[in-house]
Structure 1
Amino acid sequence: MRTSKANTPRTFTDLGADECWRLVGVHGVGRVVFAGATYTRVVPTTYDAIHGTAYFRAPTFGELARRADGHEVLLCVDNVDRHDLTGWSVEMTGTAHRVEDAATVATLWSLGRPQSWFPGLQTQWIALPVAQVRGQRVSDHRYRRGSTHSGTISDGHPVASDGRRLTVWENEGGQVRELPYRG
């Protein structure tokens, strides 16, 4: 069963730089976009955001470390609430470079995070000093956590929510029964 919320108009709100950094600072997982040899690469990664710079690790001789160093890179971080069909997206761009300064490398290793997702030995820290940050939040003012609402799902069954759980009913032969919802 799918809810009819997929057809609900959404509100897109631009996020200010401070809000973008706040969201990115607590998330830790994103996608790095960079130019490959003949194509654009999108690679999932873990990262740290510290004082206007995003840091992530990569294999020292891997494609990301080779191709991102000295080039424009995009880090995209998103969060989606599948229940409410809401979320946010932040894009950060800048010129990436390998972190060579011993004090910075020591500080990054001392943080103990993030665990890189790249296969192999990920000893190369990449810095993305952010030149531009922008973001958007998508929301539906009718459906907020903690609010009560009701409607019908695509097959016509009535549905209600108290903000914590979704309840679906079926009227079969005059008997109304609660259905298990698998969203």
Structure 2
Amino acid sequence: MNDIDAPTDHSDLRVMSTDECTGRLATAGIGRVAFVRSGEVVVLPVHHVVHGLDVYFRTSGGSKIEAAADHSQVGFEVDDYDRALLTGWSVSLTGAASLVDEDDLIRELADSDPTPWMVGDPNHSVWVRIRPDQISGRELLPR
């Protein structure tokens, strides 16, 4: 399907397929995780990896771990924008966060993320999994 024939939403943005969304998730190095902590919405940047449909990130403490330990619902978003061409895209998902405790998976994730973007020692971090229950993406095409 060419971009002209692609479905668009109410604001004329091209709707991306699930495969496109997961592909864009995998190529974006930094995303934003959103969750509620003490009644306030918190949005934090994280370096992430994609394994299947799940999104994983490492953290060394604080509210992200607490949200994951509670199997909280979280949001996650990645995007890109080209100011010169006035094009861009955004992928967002929602799902349950949980701590990863499978040793083989932890090793596999660490191998796929050899230089994490995080404060603290990666050897004293935990992995958080976001298992999506909804994923969507939109793209602003050149005019």
TM-score by length of 1: 0.66
For structure 2, the residue ranges without an aligned partner over 5 or more in a row are 1-10
Aligned match of 2:139: 137
After superposition, the C-alpha distances for 1:72-115 in whole angstroms (9 at most, x for unaligned) are 11110001011112100000111010001111111111223451
Superposition deviation, residue 37 in structure 1: 1.1
SS of 1:47 mapped into structure 2? strand
Superposition deviation, residue 63 in structure 1: 1.0
Superposition deviation, residue 67 in structure 1: 1.9
After superposition, the C-alpha distances for 1:16-70 in whole angstroms (9 at most, x for unaligned) are 11111111111121100011112000001110011111000111x4111112330
Q: Given the alignment of the two structures, is residue 38 of structure 1 paired with residue 39 of structure 2, yes or no?
A: yes
**As a proportion of its length, which structure holds more helix?**
2
TM-score by length of 2: 0.83
Aligned match of 1:54: 55
Q: Given the alignment of the two structures, is residue 121 of structure 1 paired with residue 121 of structure 2, yes or no?
A: yes
Query: Within 5 A, what are the aligned runs for 1:1-183?
Result: 11-59=12-60, 61-69=61-69, 70-113=71-114, 115-117=116-118, 119-122=119-122, 123-141=125-143
Q: Percent identity?
A: 27
- The residue identity in structure 2 corresponding to 1:87 is G
In the alignment of these two chains, the number of paired residues is 130
Structure whose alpha-carbon radius of gyration is higher: 1
Instruction: Say whether the 8 Å CA contact 1:25–1:48 is kept in structure 2.
Output: yes
